[in-house]
Structure 1
């Protein structure tokens, strides 16, 4: 489809209709605009959907590991032997004991449901970049210090240095019944993971303190595992799950968050399909503008044919004209999409200011801000689809132009 200087000159003139052809220029401009908007919307929506999945994966899995090995009854008594076994599995990058138990916390008359999370000193230090106030260094065994999620701290009204009470309903048995176990802890740090549900519930403490609070002795609740390839975690830990059958259950991140990630995937596919229809609408705009151009230029086409222009040359001229319209719209859409993604935070805040509505409530959206992650492969697929539809839209008008009979046109026009 290499154009000769003659063919390119004619195609360029048809891309910029004259003053007497304002209608054609408007229709062509609408075609460019629709392609631009459709490509921009696809890039924006797919980037945001990818951002949702990536951010949720990084924050949820980054905190809980790629899999957990949980003992029956919530206790893993031989956890040291299991831990050694797990660390010998090929593909496992990290394995550490963990205690996680739903309890209650109170402060100044306020009571909130929490997840008490007992971790090793190494795992606690991984929260360092998430700390908003205080420090994690004081979370030492038997020091009586804990770290709270930011939303939980706000709900309790607690700050760094305050003393909260954690209540374990499964306390000691007495002749008068079970007495809940209540232990006071000093808030040493406040952290924000970025996932609302976790920031609203988590209380992090040293492993030994959690064992004392929950009367576990030397037992733990589970072992969290990280692997080299999270997408194939089931295959990597499959042999281990069979070996531990009857002692513990291996659950990977896909099973723990299956409904959430499946819903995101379904919504992502549905949005891509729905917005792809707009690209098809843009192709129809290109088709209509080229048909109008061919009709208005039929006399010119006939003259070109009588001057020696071949059918192939006419075909190439009109295919090039329509393809350039699609290419212009596609490139403009990419620029518009990336601009919107770059300023997405300000755009959301501006819409909230104008409408007076909170569009990004972390209680509903899970994340505290609008995420975005652009996949180059998807962007190339979107561009390829836009160009393919644009090219297909040029074939019929170009064929009609190439099939023009110069004798009949010059005789009757």
Structure 2
């Protein structure tokens, strides 16, 4: 009894390879193979490029948030004064900051004084948000203290003011220049409250990486901010940094318990939750749309295989007559379709990875061709188009492409296997 050859034997690969190299008379098959290959390549490339930009955008967005903002903000629920005004000042801010800093997982807790004022230099004005913070605590803000494009010396913070690069550009001020801060809630006199105007030397200019922060953020020494905003002996909130910002929800409960029942917490997820949810929805929709694109490209494999089966009907009849089983014929044509899917996937992964790795020069070239202004940071919030290549994204694209390619190949391969050899050779 003859031994049955194992599946995907060498002769099956040889036959499939010969069929893929169509002769000139069967050029239509070769053209369809190339169309299928190019389609799969471009679809996988688009999927990986989109996933990389999506991951990069989220990482850049979250990184700039965490680099210049508190992971958790601790504030007072407030008390109503005798004048009927809700006072949310924290008078025991030093003790509260020490208590919160002792919570496991907390890296820093700093009292803040905050207020919105107008910054002025000659004929230029800009609305800014002032953060009063100590010289030691400002060094713990990565987006400010570790800014790669920073100008000046943060060691001189107590001698002046630190401003964002957008504020400096708006006012036309550089290091050593003096700007005025104008607050409507200033000195209280017998005739009412008069605006307070103080001039400060710019000793540090930072770039946090987000346009809205760089355009509005100003830092004052803590004691000076208390005096400027009439907060002597009090703070507005406690800025808390934690080791794992992604797990901030679990940390919030411990911080709230340490602060007592008179305080509330507000995490960075609460502040940016709407945007993050919008990003998540957009990610899912884009993945579905691009998955359909991959499916459409994979369907070209079906068209090519159907043409191949039609052109090779006589060959199939001969192969079946000399003893080739239905399974062997099916595997031959499955190899033809799967080979196109695998090769297209590999080329798509290569192009997608190169795009993610070299997105900066590619984007610069596109910006040059369009005459500049393609990316507006005032609208996008960040200064450049980011991309982050993650192994999980690449694997999901590969799995989707190969899965669809193998799946759609089964049907024309089954059709070839079930072809009646008598019918195929009737008119030969």
Q: Tell me the TM-score range normalised by the shorter chain.
A: over 0.9
Structure 2 unaligned blocks of 5 or more: 1-5, 79-86
In structure 2, the CA distance between the partners of 1:147 and 1:239, relative to structure 1 (3 Å rule), is closer
Moved more, 13-22 or 325-334: 13-22
How many angstroms does 1:287 deviate by?
Answer: 0.8
Query: Contact between 2:99 and 2:259, CA under 8 Å: does it hold in 1?
Result: no
Between the aligned partners of 1:244 and 1:342, the Cα distance in structure 2 is 45
Per-residue CA shift, 1:91-127, capped at 9, x if unaligned? 3232222222211110112111101112222332242
* Contact 1:348 1:359 (C-alpha < 8 Å) held by counterparts: no
Quick one: distance in 1 between partners of 2:398 and 2:152?
A: 48
* Residue in structure 1 matched with residue 401 of structure 2 by the alignment: 386
Match among 115, 131, 134 for residue 101 of structure 1: 115
Q: Which residue of 2 aligns with 1:336?
A: 351
Whole-Å separation in 1 of the counterparts to 2:104 and 2:205: 36
CA shift, 1:38, in A, is 1.0
Aligned partner (choices 202, 217, 221) of residue 202 of structure 1? 217
Q: Which runs of 4+ in 1 moved over 6 A?
A: none
User: Which residue number corresponds to residue 58 of structure 1?
Assistant: 63
Question: Which of the residues 139, 151, 156 maps onto 1:125?
Answer: 139
CA-atom RMSD in angstroms? 1.7
Where in structure 2 are the equivalents of 1:7-406 lying within 5 Å? 7-71=12-76, 72=78, 73-126=87-140, 127-130=144-147, 131-140=149-158, 143=159, 145-241=160-256, 244=259, 247-356=262-371, 358-406=373-421
What is the deviation of 1:220?
Answer: 1.5
Q: CA deviation at 1:135?
A: 1.5
Alpha-carbon separation, structure 1, partners of 2:254 and 2:65: 25
C-alpha displacement of 1:370? 0.9
Secondary structure at 2:150's aligned position in 1?
strand
Cα distance in 1 for partners of 2:98, 2:176 equals 38
Distance change (3 Å), C-alpha of 1:122 and 1:16: farther
- Runs of 5+ consecutive residues of structure 1 not aligned to the other structure: none
Cα distance, 1:42–1:74 mapped onto 2, change above 3 Å: farther
Kept in 1: contact 2:167–2:216 (CA 8 A): yes
Going from structure 1 to structure 2, the CA distance change for 1:74 and 1:167 (only over 3 Å counts) comes to farther
On the 8 A contact 2:103/2:258 being kept in 1, the answer is no
